[in-house]
Amino acid sequence: MQFSVGVEYSLHCLLYLVDVNERSVGIKDLAAYQGVSESYLSKFFAKLKKNGIVESVPGAKGGYRLARAPETITFWDVVEAVEGSEPFFKCTEIRQNEIILDRSNLPASHTKSPCLIHKVMDEAEAQMKHFLQSKTLKWLYDEVQNKVPSVHIQATKEWFERNL
Amino acid sequence: MQFSVGVEYSLHCLLYLVDVNERSVGIKDLAAYQGVSESYLSKFFAKLKKNGIVESVPGAKGGYRLARAPETITFWDVVEAVEGSEPFFKCTEIRQNEIILDRSNLPASHTKSPCLIHKVMDEAEAQMKHFLQSKTLKWLYDEVQNKVPSVHIQATKEWFERNL
DNA sequence: TTTATCGTGGATAATAATTATCCGCGATAC
DNA sequence: GTATCGCGGATAATTATTATCCACGATAAA
Ligand code: FES
Ligand code: FES
């Protein structure tokens, strides 16, 4: 039960994209700046694009930019884009295997209403989802502006400007 | 990002152990009743034991019973026992790779305070943990007593009694 | 128009995690 | 003594994650 590294990669990258409004930043730059694999990072951006989080500019001098306002991009959106939308808990309906049951004529209690254990686990995921939906990229950006030394923020901005 | 099937197996099994007070139930019976692999299920019970959720009775007619009151066993305890206690989000400290940094002299902002993204993801896990800690095995047992037809509960109990 | 750049999708592979089985050991009930 | 059972280690099959490479089409710049 672990998140893919793509979640860390993606969130850090998206943070750099907030400043890039009309223009775009290439995978090459994003990968170089963070010292990660270019080709691997590109796989995650494909998912982010498919989920409407970023949009791409094809061709030379192309790259990526946010597809919508950072206020509307939540941590959950990114997690879901990268990890897929399968629920964390996959119930195998083990209850329907109970040896005392007639497999060809299962009681309503085992087919109609969801298994309580399943329900609790789904609710647990919903708790995490709710929390992550409350954290937007805009919020992250603003917090970082306040907490990281402005000299470093400026240097980052300039590095990307140079390669725009 | 998925829970192992051991979580489903374990929770369903523990439910059957609530009634079994002084005595014990063997893996063989638990596996047979639920139609799952005996040897595989035993691996999860090893973890449940190591984490003090169940205790074992060795030797013939041996088996497992709860190691403590079902009021004190939470869904989270079971998840942690089965999945291990590694955090869901493993931060690779990607921020320390930023190309503009001097790797041999990292700024305090990148080493002292935790990365905000990391912090948010850990908090998200904490949300789920908090919720799952609020759901005890006793609560689950009581809910099931209310919702599942008593004829089925009785039949289950009798099946395990026969093989005790 | 050529050329270099860059996203895109597919193929492929290395590594790790999950799922699953088997077997021998020691403890215990009968 | 013997059959039963938990226990731990070894092992393997399957799947997911991590990672690379390449050919393609689109585009900007020369
Ligand atoms: S049957 Fe799947 S969690 Fe109960
Ligand atoms: S450095 Fe790991 S989440 Fe930011």
Between CA B95 and CA B92 the distance in angstroms is 8
Decide if pLDDT at A46 tops 90: yes
Least trusted range by pLDDT, from A6-20, A42-56, A93-107, A130-144: A93-107
Token couple for A93: 């309906």
CATH code of residue B158 = 1.10.10.10
Q: What is the mean pLDDT of chain A?
A: 95
Q: Is the dihedral of CA B28, B30, B32, B38 positive or negative?
A: negative
Neighbours of B63 (CB within 10 A): 22
B19 touches strand C (CB under 7 A): no
Mean pLDDT of B36-63: 97
Q: Give the model's confidence band at A163: pLDDT under 50 very low, under 70 low, under 90 confident, else very high.
A: confident
B55 pLDDT above the threshold of 90 = yes
- Ligand 2 atom closest to the CA of B118, numbered from 1: 3
**Domain of B49?**
5-163
Average pLDDT for chain B? 95
Distance A85 CA to ligand 1 centre (A): 19
Q: What is the DSSP letter of B25?
A: B
Instruction: Report which of A128, A1, A53, A41 is spatially closest to residue B120, judged by C-alpha positions.
Output: A128
* Interatomic distance B39 CA / D11 C1' (Å): 14
Closest nucleotide to A42: CA versus each C1': C7
Q: Which two tokens stand for residue A13?
A: 């990258």
Q: Which amino acid is at A34?
A: Q
Residue of A4, A13, A140 whose CA lies nearest to A80: A4
Quick check: A103 pLDDT over 90?
Answer: no
Q: At B102, is the pLDDT very low, low, confident or very high (cuts 50, 70, 90)? A: confident
* Confidence band, pLDDT 50/70/90 cuts, at residue B36: very high
Is residue A86 scored above 90 in pLDDT?
yes
Q: What is the pLDDT of residue A62?
A: 94
pTM over cut 0.85:
yes
Q: What distance in Å separates the CA atoms of residue A126 and residue B60, rounded to the nearest whole number?
A: 44
Q: Which residues pair with A25 in a beta bridge?
A: A64
pLDDT at A160 over 80: yes
Measured from the alpha carbon of residue B87, the closest ligand is 2
Cβ neighbourhood burial of A111 (10 Å; 0-12, 13-18, 19+)? exposed
Cβ of B95 less than 6 Å from ligand 2: yes
Q: Do B155 and A75 touch (CB under 8 A)?
A: no
C-alpha A70/C-alpha A141 separation (Å) is 9
Helix (H) or strand (E) holding A147: helix A137-147
B32 in Cβ contact with B26 (< 8 Å): no
Q: What is the pLDDT of residue A21?
A: 82
H or E stretch at B121 = helix B116-133
Q: How confident is the model at residue B106 (pLDDT cuts 50, 70, 90)?
A: confident
If one counts the domains in chain A, the total is: 1
The DSSP code sequence of B52-117 is: TSEEEE-STT-EEEESS-GGG-BHHHHHHHHH-S--SS----GGGG-TTS-TTS--GGGTTSPPHH
